[in-house]
Amino acid sequence: MKQEYTNKKFVKTVILLVVIMMTLTASLGYMLDPSLYYRLPKHYTYFSEAFTTAGLMKNSPAEIAIVGSSMMQNTDMDLVRNEFGQRAVKYTRSGMNIDEITMLIDRATSLEKNNVDKFILNIDMTTFNSEPSSPYDKFPKYLYDENKINDIKYLLGFETWTKFIPFNFVYNTSINFDTPITNKVVNTFSKTTNIDLMGDWSFGTQFSEEIVKSKYENNLESVSKQNIDGMYERMKQRFDKEFYPVIYNNTDKEFMIILPPYSALMWYEAEKQGYAEILFDFKKYMVTRFSGLDNVKIYDFQDYEGIINLNNYKDTTHYIPEFNDMMIKSLAVSKNVIDVNNVDTRISNLKNIVLKFKTQHKKWL
C-alpha cells in the first residue's frame, strides 16, 4: 500500500514538474518572442518569413502591404513609403503561390488591428496552372488562425527553441564582443535586424547575360515545365474559384496587381514549350474579369523594354533591384496600367520584344 502511494506521489511530482517547466518555457518564449508575434520591440532579429509575417500582420501599423514571391522581395520599402506617403510592410516568401497569397490577404483583412488598406502584389501566372495546395505547408497554421490555445505550439515549438531563440541569443551576445568569430556572426546576421530586408536576396547576387546563358544552357534554374493539357481552363477555374473572390469580397481595400518583367528568354522558352499563347489568353481573361472592380488596377511590366537585356537578370526570371524601384515609381503615378482597352496592344508589344530577342541571340538559342 505504501509502495503504491509512493508511486502515485512520484507520478504527481513528475507531472507537476513538467507543467512548471512548460509554463516557465512558454513564459520565456512569450517574453523573448523571436517571431514578433506579440509585439514589435525596438530591437529585434528575425529568421523566418513564414513565422514573422504572422507577427507583422498583427503588430505593424502599416497601411500598405507588399505581398508576393521573390519578384517582390527586393522591394525598397523606404522608396514605397516616400512614393506613397504611407507606412509599408512586406508579406513575402520565395516561391509564394496563389494559395498562400489568398490566405495572407484573407488573414490580413480579418484582423481588427491590421491597418492595411492597399495591397501591392505580384502575380506569377503559372501558379494558377498548379494543383491547389495548403498554404500551411510553408506557413505555420497555428499563427494564422483565431485559436489562442494552439499558440502554445509557437511558445514551446521546435523552431522557436532550436533555431530562433538560440540564434537571437548568439547574435545579441556577439555584438558586444570584437573578435573574428563574433564579428563574422554579426556580419552574417546583421541583415536580420532590419525588417525591411526580410527575404531580400539581392545582396551579393550577380546579374549578367553570361550567367543567365550558362544556367539556361546547363538547365540550371530553368523555366518551369508546365502541363499544357487543359492549362487555360485550369487557370481560369482556379482564378474564378480561389483568387477573384478574395479581391471581390474586399472592395474596401485597394489592390495593385503587378505582372512582373520576366526576361525575354523566359518568354522564348514558354513559346518553345507551347504555353506562351495560353499565358497571353489568361492575361486577357484576368484583365477582363477585373475590369468591373473599381478597387483593382493591374500593372503590366511584361513588355518592359529592359527584359531584352539579360544583364538585368540572374536567371530567366529574377531581375535587378532597379526593376523593383521602377515598378514602385510607376505604381505611385498609375503608369503601365493594363486594361481592356490596351491589353491586346500590350500583348503584341511583348511578342515583338521576344521576336527581337530571338533575332539578336539566334546563334545560341
- pLDDT tens figures, 67-78: 999 999 999 999
At position 58, the amino acid (one-letter code) is K
- What rounded mean pLDDT belongs to the chain? 93
Nearest residue to 223 (alpha-carbon basis) of 264, 261, 263, 270: 270
Which pTM value belongs to this model? 0.92
Determine the pLDDT at residue 123.
95
Which grid cell sits at 191?
Answer: 541583415
Residue 265's alpha-carbon distances to 88, 227, 258, 280, 364, in angstroms, are: 33, 19, 20, 16, 12
Helix, strand, or coil (residue 288): helix
Angle between helices 264-273 and 209-217 (to 10 degrees): 20
Determine the pLDDT at residue 1.
54
Q: Which residues pair with 246 in a beta bridge?
A: none
**How many Å apart are CA 351 and CA 40, to the nearest integer?**
47
**Positions in the chain short of pLDDT 50:** none
Determine the pLDDT at residue 219.
83
Helices (H), the chain: 2-32, 49-59, 77-84, 98-110, 152-155, 158-159, 165-174, 180-189, 209-217, 231-238, 244-248, 264-273, 276-290, 321-332, 343-360
> What secondary structure letter does DSSP report for 157?
-
Judge whether 264 and 354 are in contact, CB under 8 Å.
yes
Which grid cell sits at 111?
Answer: 484582423
Residue 298 phi, psi dihedral angles, 5° rounding:
-105, 130
Helix, strand, or coil (residue 266): helix
Determine the pLDDT at residue 4.
59
Helix, strand, or coil (residue 194): coil
Helix, strand, or coil (residue 311): helix
Which grid cell sits at 129?
Answer: 496552372
Domain residue ranges of the chain, discontinuous segments joined by +:
205-250+259-329+337-365
